[in-house]
């Protein structure tokens, strides 16, 4: 048996999971809320205390070395079955080891698969580091034995939404903070909140992050380390599951029997996992000069306090920064390049050309700072072939041509050509998407170059800025630095000789027009998809009632509808309506944008419209409802066609 003697935080006073729970229950913070609620509800504090206890029992972990060993043993077997290799950056592990001893540590891994946290704990165990406690969704508890096992391996469970429940919030926040303050164990959670079904990094959630930052704001700890961790999979375990989900085939509930069925997967090969443990980032350094200390000095620290605006902004900035670091360190496999090339050359692409293009894209990716796992001596052909072998469920070689494998996908219950093709496209897109995180800045400049009516800098920037706003939920942009992003994009394009800039103008070079069009083609699914989706927004109410596809293209009808339809709709109505709509368009062949079927893109487009003020989001007792502002939607569509004049004040800064 392995002798596990982990490196721990220097200020740690060892204690049992139950001691933490009772410390939380007795804490001033929780007691305050209990008394407050008792007073408001006219209830006895004992009853509320009881309730708090139940909440704690539901959420609390019961980390046991025995369970950890059991997991380590089984996981090592399973992982060996599933994956060829697991690669870790050793110096990252060493840095982490130092960090863990110095200050409380928060691990922030990317989230692509359930394997993420199992793998990470396994890794820390193997490296003799303190095992993290992990914030997991409460749905895991639905899995009978596994839920409890995870609990013993250090998972604690949070409800998906508890905005209104003050007791729950107080208990949960205090539970996390108690573990952090005492240096009990590294705290691990996913900034993205959920597994990204598309392999694009999801926009961050701020709740847990602001909880773990609070002890520092209140100076209960000297500092806190935030450690971005990038976990990438050559082949994602849940790839087909995700594709189904995106297409609206409901996600199976977490259940133990579901997990047992997944045994079938064990016989499959999922390639290599790359784990990059980033440089621990000192919260103190990040906060230096940014946080006014007054608000925390004037109120007792145990009182619940709504974070001030500058704190909220700071938390959001940190969240984005951490995600950008995850992206920066994410290892990309050659297959990611293949997928990106292939998607631009459907239905079939000559094998040799694919290799050539892949090799070219490799160079471009490296110029853009992408981190590709491509051994020096590996020839392109071998790399592409091994990708095709690993992903034979997605694409294959037929008569010297590479084609999407959209014929015999899975059980084929839906039985439609469009559906099957969409499935293959979405799976393939999942891999291309990994590249988008790195490419988004230069590529949006390229798209802007094609959109803008002229090569004048301010017009290109204006388009870029617009795209950045529209795609703010689709890709990760650090808030408020549009100009910097633009400049970075231009710089990278200049670096690969794709564009030239003069005082007033930005234009593609002769040599670089290929790059520019490749880049804009790479993002075309999004540009087109959004256009389709946004346009649909103006029809939603009709879709619900009596949609007549034949009239779609008619501007007259468009105008008519935009005047007549003022009805509100919910997201639950929106998604299936839009899906049906796009489906019909695809069947008719009036669009080729299969990715518009993705519920992820649909949600993001809706949320972009909300942020741009074209759709009003309202909270009602039954959740959120949406109201379309036809005129504003029209303006956004005009923007896509670059028919809106540039705003001068913005241009002045260029």
Partner 1 sequence: GARLWQELLKWNGWGYNDSKFIFNKKGQAEFTGKRYRLGGMVLPTFKEWIEKTFGASLEHKTTSRASLNVNDVPPPIVNEEFLQDLRATKISYSQDAEDRVFRAHGHCLHEIFVLREGMFKRIPDIVVWPVCHEDVVKIVELACKHNLCIIPFGGGTSVSSALECPEEEKRMIISLDTSQMNRILWIDEKNLTACVEAGIVGQDLEKQLAESGFCTGHEPDSMEFSSLGGWVATRASGMKKNIYGNIEDLVIHIKMVTPRGIVEKNCQVPRMSTGPDIHHFIMGSEGTLGVVTEVTIKIRPVPEYQKYGSVVFPNFERGVACLREVAKQRCAPASIRLVDNAQFQFGHALKPQVASIFTSFLDGLKKFYITKFKGFDPNILCVATLLFEGDREKVLQHEKQVYDIATKFGGLAAGEDNGQRGYMLTFVIAYLRDLGLDYYVIGESFETSVPWDRVLDLCRNVKERIVRECKEKGVQFAPLSTCRVTQTYDAGACVYFYFAFNYRGISDPIHVYEQIERAAREEILANGGSLSHHHGVGKLRKRWMKESISDVGLGMLRSVKEYVDPNNIFGNKNLL
Binding mask 222-261 for partner 1 (x = CB under 8 A): x---------------------------------------
Q: Which stretch binds partner 1 (CB under 8 A): 46-54, 219-227, 254-262, 500-508?
A: 219-227
Q: Which stretch binds partner 1 (CB under 8 A): 118-126, 288-296, 490-498, 586-594?
A: 288-296
Burial 168-198 (b: 16+ CB within 10 A, else e): bbbbbbbbbbbbbbbbbbbbbbbbbbebbbb
**Interface with partner 1 includes 32 (CB under 8 A)?**
no
42, 183 contact by CB (below 8 A): no
**Interface with partner 1 includes 296 (CB under 8 A)?**
yes
Q: Which stretch binds partner 1 (CB under 8 A): 74-82, 217-225, 233-241, 356-364?
A: 217-225
The minimum distance between CB 178 and partner 1, in angstroms, equals 15
Q: How many residues bind partner 1 (CB under 8 A)?
A: 9
Applying CB under 8 A, among 1, 3, 260, 294 the residue interacting with partner 1 is 294
Q: Which stretch binds partner 1 (CB under 8 A): 171-179, 218-226, 450-458, 467-475?
A: 218-226
The minimum distance between CB 219 and partner 1, in angstroms, equals 5
Applying CB under 8 A, among 220, 328, 528, 571 the residue interacting with partner 1 is 220
Task: In whole angstroms, give the CA distance from residue 605 to residue 596.
Answer: 10
**Interface with partner 1 includes 407 (CB under 8 A)?**
no
Nearer to partner 1, 76 or 297 (CB): 297
Task: In whole angstroms, give the CA distance from residue 389 to residue 397.
Answer: 10
Nearer to partner 1, 31 or 509 (CB): 31
185, 132 contact by CB (below 8 A): yes
Identify the three-state secondary structure at position 110.
Answer: coil
Bridge pairing between strands 331-332 and 371-372 = parallel
Within 299-318, which residues bind partner 1 (CB under 8 A)? 300-301
Region of 415 on the Ramachandran plot (φ > 0 left; ψ -120 to 50 alpha; else beta): left
194-197, Cβ contacts within 8 angstroms, sequence gap of 24 or more: 194/111, 194/137, 195/111, 195/112, 195/113, 195/114, 195/116, 195/238, 195/242, 196/110, 196/111, 196/112, 197/242, 197/245, 197/246, 197/430, 197/600
Applying CB under 8 A, among 35, 144, 219, 407 the residue interacting with partner 1 is 219
3-state helix, strand, coil in the chain (%, to 5): 55, 10, 30
Largest CA distance in the chain: 78
Q: Which stretch binds partner 1 (CB under 8 A): 37-45, 50-58, 215-223, 521-529?
A: 215-223
Token digits for 335?
A: 């297959």
Nearer to partner 1, 62 or 301 (CB): 301
Within 10 Å of residue 237's Cβ, how many Cβ atoms?
A: 19
The minimum distance between CB 222 and partner 1, in angstroms, equals 5
Nearer to partner 1, 45 or 295 (CB): 295
The minimum distance between CB 298 and partner 1, in angstroms, equals 9
Nearer to partner 1, 95 or 159 (CB): 95
The minimum distance between CB 116 and partner 1, in angstroms, equals 33
The minimum distance between CB 94 and partner 1, in angstroms, equals 19
Applying CB under 8 A, among 85, 293, 495, 588 the residue interacting with partner 1 is 293
Nearer to partner 1, 220 or 317 (CB): 220
Q: Dihedral (C-alpha) 448, 449, 452, 454: value to the nearest 10 degrees?
A: 160
The minimum distance between CB 220 and partner 1, in angstroms, equals 6
Binding mask 561-600 for partner 1 (x = CB under 8 A): ----------------------------------------
The minimum distance between CB 282 and partner 1, in angstroms, equals 10
Residues 447, 192, 70, CA angle at the centre, nearest 5°?
135
Task: In whole angstroms, give the CA distance from residue 426 to residue 420.
Answer: 10
Q: Which stretch binds partner 1 (CB under 8 A): 233-241, 290-298, 400-408, 486-494?
A: 290-298
Nearer to partner 1, 222 or 455 (CB): 222
Tokens 């259940």: give the residue. Answer: 255
The minimum distance between CB 27 and partner 1, in angstroms, equals 13
The minimum distance between CB 297 and partner 1, in angstroms, equals 4
Task: In whole angstroms, give the CA distance from residue 612 to residue 177.
Answer: 36
Cis peptide bond N-terminal to 347, omega within 30: yes
Q: Determine phi and psi for 374, rounding to 5 degrees.
A: -145, 95
209, 287 contact by CB (below 8 A): no
Q: What is the DSSP string of 44-87?
A: -HHHHHHHHHHHHHHH-----HHHHHHHHHHHHHHHHHH-SEEE
The minimum distance between CB 281 and partner 1, in angstroms, equals 16
Nearer to partner 1, 298 or 413 (CB): 298
Q: Which stretch binds partner 1 (CB under 8 A): 205-213, 289-297, 617-625, 632-640?
A: 289-297
Bridge pairing between strands 569-570 and 499-501 = unpaired
Query: Applying CB under 8 A, which residues contact partner 1?
Result: 219-220, 222, 293-294, 296-297, 300-301
């Amino acid at each position: 048996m392995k002798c596990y003697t982990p490196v721990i935080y220097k200020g740690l006073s060892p204690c049992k999971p139950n001691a933490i729970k009772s410390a939380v229950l007795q804490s001033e913070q929780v007691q305050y809320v209990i008394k407050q609620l008792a007073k408001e509800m006219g209830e006895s504090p004992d009853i509320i205390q009881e309730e708090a206890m139940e909440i704690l029992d539901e959420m609390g972990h019961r980390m046991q070395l025995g369970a950890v060993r059991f997991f380590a043993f089984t996981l090592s077997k399973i992982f060996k079955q599933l994956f060829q290799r697991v690669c870790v950056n050793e110096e990252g592990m060493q840095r982490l080891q130092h960090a863990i001893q110095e200050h409380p540590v928060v691990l922030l891994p990317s989230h692509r698969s359930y394997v993420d946290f199992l793998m990470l704990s396994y890794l820390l165990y193997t490296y003799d580091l303190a095992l993290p406690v992990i914030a997991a969704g409460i749905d895991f508890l639905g899995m009978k034995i596994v839920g409890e096992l995870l609990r013993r391996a250090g998972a604690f469970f949070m409800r998906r939404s508890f905005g209104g429940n003050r007791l729950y919030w107080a208990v949960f926040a205090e539970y996390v903070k108690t573990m952090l303050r005492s240096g009990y164990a590294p705290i691990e959670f996913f900034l993205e909140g959920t597994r990204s079904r598309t392999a694009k990094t999801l926009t961050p959630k701020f709740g847990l992050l602001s909880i773990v930052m609070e002890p520092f704001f209140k100076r209960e700890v000297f500092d806190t380390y935030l450690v971005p961790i990038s976990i990438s999979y050559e082949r994602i375990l849940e790839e087909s599951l995700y594709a189904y989900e995106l297409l609206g085939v409901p996600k199976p509930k977490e259940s133990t029997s579901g997990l047992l069925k997944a045994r079938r997967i064990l016989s499959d090969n999922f390639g290599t996992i790359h784990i990059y443990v980033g440089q621990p980032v000192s919260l103190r350094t990040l906060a230096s000069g940014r946080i006014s200390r007054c608000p925390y000095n004037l109120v007792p620290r145990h009182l619940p306090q709504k974070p001030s605006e500058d704190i909220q902004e700071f938390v959001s900035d940190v969240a984005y920064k951490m995600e950008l670091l995850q992206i920066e360190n994410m290892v990309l496999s050659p297959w990611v390049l293949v997928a990106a090339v292939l998607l631009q050359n459907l239905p079939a692409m000559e094998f040799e050309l694919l290799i050539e293009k892949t090799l070219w894209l490799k160079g471009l990716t490296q110029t853009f700072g992408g981190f590709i796992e491509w051994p020096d001596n590996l020839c392109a052909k071998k790399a592409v072939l091994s990708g095709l072998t690993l992903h034979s469920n997605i694409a294959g070689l037929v008569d010297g041509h590479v084609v999407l494998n959209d014929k015999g996908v899975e059980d084929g219950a839906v039985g439609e050509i469009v559906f099957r093709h969409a499935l293959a496209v979405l799976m393939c897109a999942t891999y291309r998407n990994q590249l988008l995180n790195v490419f988004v800045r230069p590529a949006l400049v390229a798209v802007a170059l094609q959109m803008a009516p002229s090569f004048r800098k301010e017009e290109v920037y204006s388009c870029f800025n617009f795209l950045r706003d529209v795609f703010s939920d689709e890709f990760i942009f650090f808030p408020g630095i549009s100009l910097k992003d633009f400049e970075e994009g231009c710089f990278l394009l200049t670096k690969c000789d794709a564009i030239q800039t003069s005082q007033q103008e930005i234009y593609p070079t002769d040599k670089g027009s290929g790059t520019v069009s490749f880049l804009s083609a790479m993002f075309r699914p999004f540009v087109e998809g959004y256009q389709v989706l946004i346009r649909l927004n103006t029809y939603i109410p009709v879709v619900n009632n009596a949609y007549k596809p034949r009239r779609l293209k008619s501007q007259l009808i468009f105008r008519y509808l935009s005047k007549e339809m003022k009805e509100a709709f919910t997201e639950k109505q929106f998604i299936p309506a839009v899906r049906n709509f796009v489906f019909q368009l695809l069947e008719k062949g009036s669009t080729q944008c299969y990715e518009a079927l993705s519920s992820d893109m649909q949600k993001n487009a809706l949320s972009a419209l909300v942020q741009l003020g074209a759709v009003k989001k309202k909270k009602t007792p039954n959740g959120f409802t949406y109201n379309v502002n036809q005129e504003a939607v029209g303006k956004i569509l005009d923007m896509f066609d670059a028919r809106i004049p540039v705003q001068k004040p913005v241009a002045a800064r260029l």
